[in-house]
Structure 1
Amino acid sequence: MTGARTQTGESVAAAIRRALLTPEPRAKVFAAREVARNWRLGRLAWRFDVAMPDRPAWPDRPELLAPNRMPKRGKAGSERGRIALWHALAHIEFVAIDLALDMAGRFGAAAGRALVDDFLSVAADEAMHFALLERKLRRLGSHYGALPAHGGLWQAAHETRHDVRARLAVVPMVLEARGLDVTPATRDRVRAQGDEDGARILQRILDDEIRHVRFGTRHFVQGCEKAGENPPECWKTLVKRHFRGALKPPFNDSARSAAGLSREFYAAVASGANARLPHNT
Structure 2
Amino acid sequence: YDLEDQAPGLEEDPTRTTATLSVDSGLYFERETNWFGDAITQTLEPRLYYLYTPHEDQSALPDFDTAEHGFSFASLFRENRFSGADKVGDANQLTLALTSRNLDRRTGEEFLRASLGQIYYFSDREVQLQSSSGSVDTDDSSAFVAEVAARISRNWRTGAGLQWNPHLDDETEKAAFAVNYNNGEGRLFNFAYRFDDGDYEKTDISASLPLNHQWNLVGRWDYSLMHSATMEAFAGVEYDSCCWSSRLVLRQHRIDANAEPDIGIFLQLELTGLTSLGDRIDQFLEDGILGYTSDPDK
TM range (shorter): under 0.3
In the superposition, the TM-score normalised over structure 1's length comes to 0.24
Q: Which has the higher strand share?
A: 2
Larger relative contact order, structure 1 or 2 (CA cutoff 8 Å, min sep 6): 1
TM-score (ref. length: structure 2)? 0.23
Q: Which has the higher helix share?
A: 1
Larger-gyration structure (1/2): 2
